[in-house]
Structure 1
Amino acid sequence: MTALNRALWIALGLAGLVAVGIGAYGAHAAGFDSVAHDRFASALLYHLVHLSGIAAALLLNGRKASPLATASACLFLLGMLLFSGSLYASAFSGGATPTALAPYGGMSFMLGWLTLGVAGARSVEGT
Structure 2
Amino acid sequence: MKLFFILAIINGFLSVALGAFGAHGLEGKVSENMLKTWEKAVNYQMFHTMALFVVALLMSQWNQGNFANAGWAFLIGIILFSGSLYVYSVSGIKTFAMITPFGGVAFLVGWVLLGYAVVKFL
- Deviation per CA, 1:10-69, whole angstroms, max 9, x where unpaired? 111111110000000101111321221121011111111111111111111111111010
* Cross-structure match for 1:105: 103
Give the Cα separation in 1 of the matches to 2:120 and 2:60.
Answer: 14
* Cross-structure match for 1:90: 88
* Cross-structure match for 1:47: 45
Structure 2 unaligned segments of length 5 or more: list them.
none
* Cross-structure match for 1:117: 115
Give the Cα separation in 2 of the matches to 1:62 and 1:84.
Answer: 27
Give the Cα separation in 2 of the matches to 1:98 and 1:42.
Answer: 15
Task: Please report how far the alpha carbon of residue 94 of structure 1 lies from its aligned counterpart in structure 2 after TM superposition.
Answer: 3.1
Structure 1 unaligned segments of length 5 or more: list them.
none
Q: Secondary structure at the match of 1:71?
A: helix
For 1:1-127, what aligned pairs fall within 5 Å after superposition? 5-31=1-27, 32-96=30-94, 98-124=96-122
**RMSD, aligned CA:** 1.4
TM-score (norm 1): 0.87
Task: Please report how far the alpha carbon of residue 96 of structure 1 lies from its aligned counterpart in structure 2 after TM superposition.
Answer: 4.3
Give the Cα separation in 2 of the matches to 1:44 and 1:35.
Answer: 14
